[in-house]
Structure 1
Amino acid sequence: MGITLPLAVEPAAALDPDTLADLAAWALVEEAELTPKPGLVDRRGPGAHRDLDLDTLRRSARALRPAFRAMAEAARGRVPDQALREELAAIGRVGEIHMMAATGGSNTHRGAIWALGLLLAGTAIAGSADPCRIAATAAAIAQWPDRFAPQRASNGEKVRQAHGAAGARGEAQAGFPHVVAVALPALRASRSAGASETEAQLDALLAVMASLDDTCLLHRGGRPALEAAQAGARAVLAAGGTATPAGCAALQALDADLLARWVSPGGSADLLAATLFLDRIDRSFAPWNA
């Protein structure tokens, strides 16, 4: 998408809805292009998908940018309450329509609209680049019900009820623990250890996969697929991560297993995009915290 963000800007620019929307769209593209991801669309191909590819994900990210901007604009000067929660949800549903039009009906980023939309709003309200404060503010918004939500349960909601998983709603209401307490530390630890940015992002994804009850995996492959993905991710990390030969071999084995099962950790991918969003805000706008 060609989005280039500055390393440091004035606080007023950090609050600008256009900058935040660019960041959210960038995070979706960055996650999509990360290669090699187990079972997921990347530069190699569609992974365990018949209706998705990298170009489709790029189009989806571009189509969602106006919705992301509208969410950031709506949250400025507000506090977490039911009215804001419902306004963000309405914007998100319009964004989903545009996403489906851009992708020919493929559900590319429904979960990411929820996660990034809340974090965009949390950033605009919190007045801080600190990931924990942003996530806590997003959680305060997510606690409110949406009285106008469609009555038909999504696949994720059905899986959440069937398997007792927290799902996207529970993750948000808890303050995105797999982002702030799992993925961000893994990302930064890998960087500090000398891993490349690609390797660090892959390690962050695997850290999420190792413990998240990913409803995408549960929906398509049930508990056996989830347990296999979690065990495979832990094996990569135990081997030293993707920067090591043993870790790379374990990643290839995990990818082969997920493709054989025809399952994809889409929930983990959404949380990686959220992680990249918060990490870039924290690194780019660190003076804002003062």
Structure 2
Amino acid sequence: MSSRADETLARAAVAALTGQLALAPKPGLPDPRDLGARVTGEDHCSLRWSAKALEPGLAAMAAAARRTGAATPELRAELGAIGRCTEHSVALAGGGHRGALWVLGLLVAAAALEPRTGGRDLTAAAKRIAAHSDRRAPRRPSRGSSVSAKYGAAGARGEARAGFPHVRRALDTLAAARTAGVPEPYARLDALLTVMSTLQDTELLYTAGPHGLRHVQAGARGVVEAGSTSTGPGRAALAAFDEDLHARAWSPRGSSGLLAGALFADALPVRVSSPAPAA
């Protein structure tokens, strides 16, 4: 049974995910501009709605970590089982967010294990959980694991076992942008592009191959090198990159889940609200 603290962590994780969804323009990714489009508007609404379906599963992951009290193989197996049930619930609510669930699930569990940890330290705690194999996982390979094996990419599992280096990169970019006075939406877009510029995105490898991945990484680097997305040259480069990815129908989804993880880590520690007084 989850506690108020577990539910607070789950809400913070969902808020990070919906905060990522609210950013625009995100090159090749769903964003609020889709709401005005006949073809993709319903998809974006579905993503916003299904994000809320993650909350019970994330609260259960936090509760499991708090109950276990350590990054054990048993905890890793329980998180995997909860994650698979949550994927089913999210599918019924409209689907999506599989990559974000992996990232946020491990980070939420890490935050429950170490309540006073936030930012970069949180990824180290998540790394200790991810170091264990999920003994109850289905034996059939997933698309991501097959692509990782084919191309030698780290994939989602490798990212977690390395302590989420791209979450840490996003946190560094957020901190530097804020110090420089960059408005928050642009700081978050800069963080997304920083992740996109180096991430070995298995979804991109599957749809576009190594050439497509390198093309997307180079495009993201081009926007970063043009200056913050808060500047005129940066916005122009971002608009051109976005148009290019939409024309090619390439979507770097792995980057969006990692940005959501960074926004969650950045928000910690979260305050547990007190119960409302009795009437």
**Is TM-score (shorter-chain normalized) higher than 0.5?**
yes
Give 1:178's match in structure 2, choosing from 151, 166, 187: 166
Q: Note the C-alpha offset of 1:207.
A: 0.3
Long gaps (5+) in structure 2:
273-279
Spell out the pairing of 1:161-176 with structure 2 (5 A cutoff). 161-176=149-164
Secondary structure, counterpart of 2:197 in structure 1: helix
Secondary structure, counterpart of 2:87 in structure 1: helix
For 2:31 and 2:113, how far apart are their aligned partners in 1? 33
Letter in 1 for 2:34: G
- Are residue 23 (structure 1) and residue 21 (structure 2) matched? no
Contact 1:15 1:124 in 2 (8 A): no
For 1:284 and 1:203, how far apart are their aligned partners in 2? 27
Q: Note the C-alpha offset of 1:20.
A: 0.1
TM-score, length basis structure 1: 0.87
Give 2:53's match in structure 1, choosing from 63, 74, 98: 63
For 2:239 and 2:120, how far apart are their aligned partners in 1? 33
- Are residue 188 (structure 1) and residue 179 (structure 2) matched? no
For 2:30 and 2:198, how far apart are their aligned partners in 1? 21
Give 1:288's aligned residue: none
Residue by residue over 1:76-124, the C-alpha shift from the partner in whole angstroms, topping out at 9 and shown as x without a partner, is 1410111100101111111000000000xxx411111111111001011
Letter in 1 for 2:63: E
- Are residue 129 (structure 1) and residue 117 (structure 2) matched? yes
Give 2:33's aligned residue: 44
Secondary structure, counterpart of 2:242 in structure 1: helix
The verdict on how the C-alpha distance between 1:60 and 1:259 changes in structure 2, with shifts beyond 3 A counting, is same
For 1:138 and 1:225, how far apart are their aligned partners in 2? 30
The verdict on how the C-alpha distance between 1:187 and 1:15 changes in structure 2, with shifts beyond 3 A counting, is farther
RMSD: 2.0
Contact 1:41 1:52 in 2 (8 A): no
For 1:84 and 1:113, how far apart are their aligned partners in 2? 16
Secondary structure, counterpart of 2:71 in structure 1: coil
For 1:33 and 1:60, how far apart are their aligned partners in 2? 14
Aligned residues: 267
Greater displacement, 191-200 / 115-124 = 191-200
Give 1:140's match in structure 2, choosing from 115, 128, 147: 128
Give 1:113's match in structure 2, choosing from 78, 96, 101: 101
Contact 1:52 1:108 in 2 (8 A): no
Q: Note the C-alpha offset of 1:127.
A: 3.1
Letter in 2 for 1:26: A
Give 1:202's aligned residue: 189
Give 2:275's aligned residue: none
Residue by residue over 1:224-248, the C-alpha shift from the partner in whole angstroms, topping out at 9 and shown as x without a partner, is 2111111111111111120111111
For 1:54 and 1:189, how far apart are their aligned partners in 2? 30
Give 1:81's aligned residue: 72
Residue by residue over 1:41-71, the C-alpha shift from the partner in whole angstroms, topping out at 9 and shown as x without a partner, is 0001189x96972211111111110001101
Long gaps (5+) in structure 1:
1-13, 286-290
Give 1:92's match in structure 2, choosing from 48, 69, 83: 83
Secondary structure, counterpart of 1:187 in structure 2: helix
Secondary structure, counterpart of 1:16 in structure 2: helix
For 1:268 and 1:283, how far apart are their aligned partners in 2? 24
TM-score, length basis structure 2: 0.91
For 1:71 and 1:283, how far apart are their aligned partners in 2? 17
Give 2:236's aligned residue: 249
- Are residue 151 (structure 1) and residue 142 (structure 2) matched? no
Secondary structure, counterpart of 2:177 in structure 1: helix
Secondary structure, counterpart of 2:32 in structure 1: coil
For 1:185 and 1:52, how far apart are their aligned partners in 2? 34
Q: Among all aligned residue pairs of Structure 1 and Structure 2, give the percentage whose two residues are the same amino acid.
A: 48
